[in-house]
Amino acid sequence: MATSATPYGFRPIGLLGSGTWSDSIRHISIASAYDTQIFYGDAVKLVSSGTIEKDAGTTTMTPCGIFVGCRYTDPNTSQLTFAQQWTASLVASDAFAYVVDDPDVVWQVQADGTLAQTALGNNIAVTQTAGSTSIGTSKNSVTISTLATTKTLPLRVIGFIDGPSSSVGDTYTDIVCKWNSGGDATGDSCASHQYQDTTGI
């Protein structure tokens, strides 16, 4: 039973529908000296420079996927380095992020409080919290106070983690979610995932 707040960001657990996720990732450049820490499990987005940055959105987001590590040549040792986190302002011209960018991947994430069965099918926002620099993992969660039918919220609740350590209605409920496809305030269609938005970067 999830009775303590132990947020871990977004964990890929499968594909929407009957397909099996193949653990596929895409390598996307990180700009040398990019000045924001990115942790394993954080959402990231493409920017106009052709690189990725952390998506720090809460009630609205435009991610291309979830960050699951990176590689770069360490400026101090000149060694190729693999890491779970991107260190802010690190200077490396060959830095690449590993990104789970399939729009149909579904995610496990912890809520910042209790969600009941009635949350199923609703939309929800993200709580952004600084990750763990000691182990390189995200501490982001979803925000129970934002649960609503609002079209522009970035995530749709599609299930709950049911097992020995988690079940629906726990003090800190672990949910299954997907990137939302909804609409703006005028009813025009839009998508939170960048690959599903017809407007370019």
Q: How many residues does the chain have?
A: 201
74 phi, psi to nearest 5 deg: -65, 125
**Where is the domain boundary, 85, 100, 115?**
100
Has residue 82 been placed in a domain?
yes
Same domain assignment for residues 132 and 60: no
**Where is the domain boundary, 100, 130, 154?**
100
Has residue 129 been placed in a domain?
yes
Same domain assignment for residues 90 and 156: no
Has residue 147 been placed in a domain?
yes
Same domain assignment for residues 167 and 141: yes
Same domain assignment for residues 28 and 45: yes
Coil/strand/helix, residue 68: strand
Has residue 7 been placed in a domain?
no
Look over the chain and give the mean of its residue pLDDT values, rounded to a whole number.
92
Q: Copy the structure tokens of residue 162.
A: 């049911």
Given a cut of 60, whether residue 107 has pLDDT beyond it is yes
Same domain assignment for residues 117 and 170: yes
Per-residue pLDDT at 22: 84
Q: List the domain range (segments joined by +) for residue 164.
A: 104-196
Has residue 11 been placed in a domain?
no
Other CB atoms closer than 10 Å to residue 45's CB: what's the count?
Answer: 19
Residue 165's contacts (CB-CB under 8 Å, 6 or more residues apart) are 1, 2
Has residue 12 been placed in a domain?
no
Domains held by the chain: number: 2
Measured distance CA(146)–CA(143) in Å, rounded: 6
Has residue 8 been placed in a domain?
no
Given a cut of 90, whether residue 186 has pLDDT beyond it is no
Q: What is the average pLDDT across 178-182?
A: 83
Has residue 14 been placed in a domain?
no
Categorize the per-residue pLDDT at 2 as very low, low, confident or very high, splitting at 50, 70 and 90: low
Same domain assignment for residues 135 and 192: yes
Summarised one tens digit per residue, pLDDT across range 9-62 is 999 999 988 677 788 999 999 999 999 999 999 999 999 999 999 999 999 999
Categorize the per-residue pLDDT at 182 as very low, low, confident or very high, splitting at 50, 70 and 90: low
Q: What is the average pLDDT across 82-92?
A: 98
Same domain assignment for residues 122 and 79: no
